[in-house]
Structure 1
Protein backbone atom coordinates (compact mmCIF):
# COMPACT_ATOMS: atom_id res chain seq x y z
CA UNK A 1 0.00 0.00 0.00
CA UNK A 2 1.24 3.48 -0.66
CA UNK A 3 0.44 7.17 -0.76
CA UNK A 4 1.57 9.61 -3.38
CA UNK A 5 2.73 12.90 -1.81
CA UNK A 6 0.27 15.79 -2.18
CA UNK A 7 -2.34 13.52 -3.72
CA UNK A 8 -5.84 14.74 -4.57
CA UNK A 9 -8.92 14.28 -2.38
CA UNK A 10 -10.68 12.20 -1.25
CA UNK A 11 -8.11 10.67 1.07
CA UNK A 12 -7.08 7.28 -0.28
CA UNK A 13 -4.33 4.70 -0.66
CA UNK A 14 -3.15 2.68 -3.62
CA UNK A 15 -2.82 -1.07 -3.14
CA UNK A 16 -0.87 -3.36 -5.46
CA UNK A 17 -1.39 -7.09 -5.79
CA UNK A 18 0.60 -8.69 -8.59
CA UNK A 19 -0.55 -6.95 -11.76
CA UNK A 20 -3.67 -5.60 -10.07
CA UNK A 21 -4.20 -2.23 -8.42
CA UNK A 22 -6.91 -0.81 -6.22
CA UNK A 23 -7.59 2.63 -4.83
CA UNK A 24 -9.26 2.62 -1.41
CA UNK A 25 -11.00 5.50 0.33
CA UNK A 26 -9.45 6.00 3.79
CA UNK A 27 -12.74 6.83 5.47
CA UNK A 28 -15.06 4.20 4.00
CA UNK A 29 -12.30 1.64 3.30
CA UNK A 30 -14.09 0.77 0.05
CA UNK A 31 -12.27 0.26 -3.23
CA UNK A 32 -13.23 3.19 -5.46
CA UNK A 33 -11.19 2.20 -8.51
CA UNK A 34 -9.24 -0.78 -9.67
CA UNK A 35 -9.34 -4.48 -10.33
CA UNK A 36 -8.05 -6.08 -7.13
CA UNK A 37 -9.40 -9.60 -6.62
CA UNK A 38 -11.98 -9.94 -3.83
CA UNK A 39 -9.59 -11.78 -1.47
CA UNK A 40 -6.97 -9.05 -1.86
CA UNK A 41 -9.63 -6.39 -1.23
CA UNK A 42 -10.56 -8.08 2.03
CA UNK A 43 -6.90 -8.17 3.14
CA UNK A 44 -6.46 -4.48 2.32
CA UNK A 45 -9.62 -3.59 4.25
CA UNK A 46 -8.45 -5.62 7.25
CA UNK A 47 -5.08 -3.84 7.20
CA UNK A 48 -6.72 -0.44 6.76
CA UNK A 49 -9.06 -1.12 9.66
CA UNK A 50 -6.06 -1.78 11.91
CA UNK A 51 -4.29 1.38 10.74
CA UNK A 52 -7.08 3.80 9.83
CA UNK A 53 -6.20 6.44 12.42
CA UNK A 54 -2.54 6.48 11.40
CA UNK A 55 -3.42 6.53 7.70
CA UNK A 56 -5.69 9.54 8.12
CA UNK A 57 -3.05 11.34 10.21
CA UNK A 58 -0.43 10.69 7.53
CA UNK A 59 -2.79 11.92 4.83
CA UNK A 60 -3.46 15.15 6.71
CA UNK A 61 0.14 15.82 7.74
CA UNK A 62 1.92 14.34 4.71
CA UNK A 63 4.38 12.97 7.27
CA UNK A 64 4.61 9.50 5.76
CA UNK A 65 6.03 6.53 7.63
CA UNK A 66 6.04 2.78 7.34
CA UNK A 67 3.21 0.90 9.04
CA UNK A 68 3.31 -2.71 10.22
CA UNK A 69 2.11 -5.39 7.81
CA UNK A 70 -1.03 -7.41 8.34
Structure 2
Protein backbone atom coordinates (compact mmCIF):
# COMPACT_ATOMS: atom_id res chain seq x y z
CA UNK A 1 0.00 0.00 0.00
CA UNK A 2 1.56 3.30 -1.07
CA UNK A 3 2.65 5.72 1.61
CA UNK A 4 1.11 9.17 1.31
CA UNK A 5 3.03 10.76 4.20
CA UNK A 6 5.12 10.01 7.28
CA UNK A 7 5.65 12.25 10.31
CA UNK A 8 6.51 11.73 13.98
CA UNK A 9 6.43 7.96 13.53
CA UNK A 10 2.96 8.08 11.94
CA UNK A 11 2.50 6.41 8.56
CA UNK A 12 -0.40 7.42 6.29
CA UNK A 13 -1.35 5.15 3.37
CA UNK A 14 -4.03 4.84 0.67
CA UNK A 15 -5.10 1.74 -1.25
CA UNK A 16 -5.73 2.13 -4.99
CA UNK A 17 -8.55 -0.42 -4.97
CA UNK A 18 -10.16 0.62 -1.69
CA UNK A 19 -13.86 1.26 -1.17
CA UNK A 20 -15.78 4.48 -0.55
CA UNK A 21 -16.08 6.68 1.41
CA UNK A 22 -12.68 8.24 0.72
CA UNK A 23 -10.33 7.46 3.58
CA UNK A 24 -6.74 6.83 4.65
CA UNK A 25 -5.11 4.11 6.72
CA UNK A 26 -2.94 5.38 9.55
CA UNK A 27 -0.48 3.43 11.69
CA UNK A 28 1.61 4.34 14.70
CA UNK A 29 3.73 1.77 16.57
CA UNK A 30 1.31 -1.08 15.82
CA UNK A 31 -1.86 0.93 16.51
CA UNK A 32 -4.03 1.27 13.42
CA UNK A 33 -6.97 3.44 12.47
CA UNK A 34 -8.91 4.44 9.40
CA UNK A 35 -9.60 8.16 9.01
CA UNK A 36 -11.84 10.15 6.70
CA UNK A 37 -9.99 12.65 4.56
CA UNK A 38 -11.35 15.33 6.89
CA UNK A 39 -9.54 13.75 9.86
CA UNK A 40 -12.40 11.89 11.56
CA UNK A 41 -11.83 8.36 12.89
CA UNK A 42 -13.88 5.79 10.98
CA UNK A 43 -12.47 2.72 12.74
CA UNK A 44 -9.61 1.70 14.96
CA UNK A 45 -7.73 3.88 17.39
CA UNK A 46 -4.45 5.72 17.79
CA UNK A 47 -2.99 7.14 21.01
CA UNK A 48 -4.56 10.52 21.78
CA UNK A 49 -1.50 12.61 20.90
CA UNK A 50 -1.07 10.90 17.53
CA UNK A 51 -4.79 11.20 16.82
CA UNK A 52 -4.55 14.96 17.33
CA UNK A 53 -1.54 15.15 15.02
CA UNK A 54 -3.34 13.19 12.27
CA UNK A 55 -6.50 15.32 12.63
CA UNK A 56 -4.46 18.54 12.40
CA UNK A 57 -2.47 17.26 9.42
CA UNK A 58 -5.66 16.18 7.61
CA UNK A 59 -7.24 19.60 8.20
CA UNK A 60 -4.20 21.32 6.70
CA UNK A 61 -4.01 18.96 3.71
CA UNK A 62 -7.68 18.12 3.08
CA UNK A 63 -7.66 19.33 -0.55
CA UNK A 64 -4.44 17.42 -1.27
CA UNK A 65 -5.87 14.28 0.35
CA UNK A 66 -8.97 14.47 -1.84
CA UNK A 67 -6.84 14.95 -4.95
CA UNK A 68 -4.62 12.05 -3.92
CA UNK A 69 -7.69 9.81 -3.46
CA UNK A 70 -8.88 10.70 -6.99
CA UNK A 71 -5.46 10.04 -8.54
CA UNK A 72 -5.16 6.79 -6.61
CA UNK A 73 -8.55 5.57 -7.81
CA UNK A 74 -7.70 6.49 -11.38
CA UNK A 75 -5.06 3.74 -11.18
CA UNK A 76 -2.03 5.88 -10.41
CA UNK A 77 0.16 6.16 -7.34
CA UNK A 78 -1.31 8.49 -4.72
CA UNK A 79 0.48 11.80 -4.40
CA UNK A 80 2.97 12.33 -1.60
CA UNK A 81 1.83 14.97 0.87
CA UNK A 82 4.16 17.04 3.03
CA UNK A 83 4.51 15.84 6.61
CA UNK A 84 3.41 17.79 9.65
CA UNK A 85 6.28 19.90 10.94
Count of paired positions: 69
Structure 1 residue runs of 5 or longer lacking an equivalent are none
Aligned Cα root-mean-square deviation (Å) = 1.1
TM (norm. structure 2) is 0.75
Taking CA–CA contacts closer than 8 Å with sequence separation of 6 or more, which of the two structures ends up with the larger relative contact order?
Answer: 2
Counterpart of 1:44 in 2: which secondary structure? helix
Runs of at least 4 residues off by over 3 Å: none
Q: 1:23: which partner in 2? A: 34
Counterpart of 2:13 in 1: which secondary structure? coil
Q: 1:67: which partner in 2? A: 81
Counterpart of 2:27 in 1: which secondary structure? strand
Q: Which has the higher helix share?
A: 1
Structure 2 residue runs of 5 or longer lacking an equivalent are 1-11
Mapped partners of 1:2, 1:44: distance in 2: 12
Q: 2:17: which partner in 1? A: 6
Listed as ranges, the matches of 1:30-69 within 5 Å are 30-62=40-72, 63=76, 64-69=78-83
